[in-house]
Structure 1
Amino acid sequence: MSQQPASASELAGFNPHFLTTTIDLPTANAEISEDLVQLDGSPIIDYTHFSLTLSRSRKLARWVGWNIDGSRMQLLSRTGINFTKDPRIPAEDQAGNDLYADNRLDRGHLARRADLTWGPDTEAAQANKDSFYFTNITPQMEDFNQSRQAGIWGRLENALYEDVELDDLRCSVFAGPVLQDEDQHYRGYQLPVEYWKIILFEQAGRLTARAFLLTQELDRLQALMALDEFRVYQVTVTEIEERTGLVFPDSVHAADDLVLPQSSSRSPLSETSEIAW
């Protein structure tokens, strides 16, 4: 039986009111707004516990936003769940198995499956299935996966829960690829090599935003010439906007209060203990 999303009424998507502070979804600047796939007249595509916008030209998400409720998390198996295209969206607007078959590209989740499987049994199970739609998947290149720093990237949310006393064990996350014109062409697609993530959480009712970039070089000009391994940098929300063409709401900018040195003097993270929460 083919995988189907829940009905529109059941797909709550990203909840802007999940935390005490309202966190609205990012928008696209004028340059990329016309490139977003529309579903029922909106560029916002909702799933269980997460939402995203999809680039028509790149056939990949521009951003994915999701909520995590650490107090109601369930450990669910992925057995029997296949990667599949979302039937609500034209197949030609989504990267699918033709990109990943018979090569060493990984199907990488943007919204982590383990972050989404919370709530009542049926809700958690639907989120588990929804995470496998290709709209939530990006191609991760072999050198990306082999980088010794990629492990930090996968542990960012875990590190937050380990190091910070979160209000109600809740946080919200935005993440996505950096889609650059210079990205490598392959099988009719372009493969992103940079990824970003913004983690939002509250302590004593105060919202904090922390932004991260997985890249070879923090300086964009050098990044185009880099042959080095990928590194994880702590950056600002404004830097993410400059790289992606996205615009984040004022509440997110106000919560990004970490003072960072100039990019040329910034060091990559070597351990999660170096993160400034």
Structure 2
Amino acid sequence: MTDATGYDDGFLESAVPLPLPLGDSPTRELLYPRFTVVLDTVRRLAAVTAVNIDGASLLDLPRTGEWRLDDRAPASEQTGPAVYAANDLDRGHLVRRRDPGWGTEAEARAATEATFFYTNAAPQAGAFNQSKELWLGLEDHVLTYADATDQRISVFTAPVLAPDDPPYRGVGIPRRFFKAAAWVPPGGRLQSAGFVLDQSELIDPREDGALGVAPLGAYRTFQVPVAEIEALAGVDLGPLVDADVLGGTPVRAEAWRLLRAPEDIVLG
């Protein structure tokens, strides 16, 4: 992949290193146009993804691209099409299709199509509700608020790879996902915000090894201290912990800030 520049840790005015897992699970670092996937080769899902977004030059391109395996990693290390067949699971983009789609039209198209590698997907329940819609638009909310230099943000997203995730077709289905966003306002310091999407109510493991989607369950999106995301996901989020707009105050999970609308998000 000749244009696979990967995540740039100097993209913002304050350097933000690529987050890496804190544990000893083997990983594979894969570079794509403007984003990087750190693949947990045992769990066969991303331990973290990192993307640079230049909101000032984002292009609104038609959806193109087909889901495919990345031939730079063995198929046995990837969660491929068999896991998503004949069930209610969606291939959830981790790096959103639109996020790396900036610059020239050719650059943007190559970057958006690269988001369709299975290494950039994770199983999500197919049900859709307002909370999931909010999750899918978090980057846009941060860009709108931040008014950062050239509208630049960096975003880090992945499933929380918990040891007790329910197994299905050889893959542990994550109950939660995390997202952390970083930006530097004009003349200001690095700021960050952290979020968790919880699909626990929707994942219904069966005794026979099948998996269902609970019809009365729901996605829930929370704003969570970045320090708690670091501990929950086992990923080193570096300077984002101290830059957290929530101030890094630890809270109990039952006291996480439930988001019902964009107005509930705290960004400053």
TM-score by length of 1: 0.84
Contact 1:141–1:193 (8 Å) recurs in 2: no
- Aligned partner of 2:106 in structure 1 is 122
- Give the distance between the partners of 2:261 and 2:131, measured in 1 at CA: 8
Question: Aligned to 1:17, which of 10, 13, 34?
Answer: 10
Q: Secondary structure of 2:144's match?
A: helix
Matched, 1:36 2:27: yes
**Runs ≥4 in structure 1, deviation > 4 angstroms?**
none
Deviations 1:208-242 (A, max 9, x none): 0100111268xxxxxxxxx9533111111111111
Identity of paired residues, percent? 34
Q: Secondary structure of 1:159's match?
A: helix
- Give the distance between the partners of 1:25 and 1:51, measured in 2 at CA: 9
Question: Aligned to 1:97, which of 81, 101, 108?
Answer: 81
- Residue 165 of structure 1 aligns with an amino acid whose one-letter code is D
- Aligned partner of 2:157 in structure 1 is 175
Q: Secondary structure of 1:192's match?
A: coil
- Residue 52 of structure 1 aligns with an amino acid whose one-letter code is V
- Residue 239 of structure 1 aligns with an amino acid whose one-letter code is E
- Residue 101 of structure 2 aligns with an amino acid whose one-letter code is T
Change (3 A) 1:120 1:267: closer
Aligned positions of 1:1-277 closer than 5 A: 6-7=1-2, 10-29=3-22, 31=23, 33-37=24-28, 44-79=29-64, 81-142=65-126, 145-205=127-187, 206-215=189-198, 229-249=218-238, 251-259=239-247, 260=249, 262-263=251-252, 264-277=254-267
Quote the offset at 1:141 in angstroms. 1.4
- Give the distance between the partners of 2:40 and 2:255, measured in 1 at CA: 33
Pick the structure with more helix per residue.
Answer: 1
Q: Report how many residues are paired.
A: 250
- Give the distance between the partners of 1:248 and 1:180, measured in 2 at CA: 18
Pick the structure with more strand per residue.
Answer: 2
Contact 1:71–1:168 (8 Å) recurs in 2: yes
- Give the distance between the partners of 2:145 and 2:113, measured in 1 at CA: 30
Q: Secondary structure of 1:46's match?
A: strand
Change (3 A) 1:60 1:257: same
Greater Cα offset, 52-61 or 256-265? 256-265
- Give the distance between the partners of 1:60 and 1:34, measured in 2 at CA: 12
- Residue 164 of structure 1 aligns with an amino acid whose one-letter code is A
Quote the offset at 1:164 in angstroms. 3.1
- Aligned partner of 1:3 in structure 2 is none
- Residue 241 of structure 2 aligns with an amino acid whose one-letter code is H
Q: Secondary structure of 1:116's match?
A: coil
What's the Cα RMSD here? 1.9
Q: Secondary structure of 1:117's match?
A: coil
- Give the distance between the partners of 1:228 and 1:170, measured in 2 at CA: 35
Q: Secondary structure of 1:158's match?
A: helix
TM-score by length of 2: 0.87
- Give the distance between the partners of 1:257 and 1:148, measured in 2 at CA: 24
Contact 2:154–2:182 (8 Å) recurs in 1: yes
- Give the distance between the partners of 1:184 and 1:147, measured in 2 at CA: 23
Question: Which 5+ residue runs of structure 2 have no aligned equivalent?
Answer: 201-215
Question: Which 5+ residue runs of structure 1 have no aligned equivalent?
Answer: 1-5, 38-43, 218-226
Change (3 A) 1:75 1:267: closer
- Give the distance between the partners of 2:250 and 2:236, measured in 1 at CA: 22
Greater Cα offset, 154-163 or 64-73? 154-163
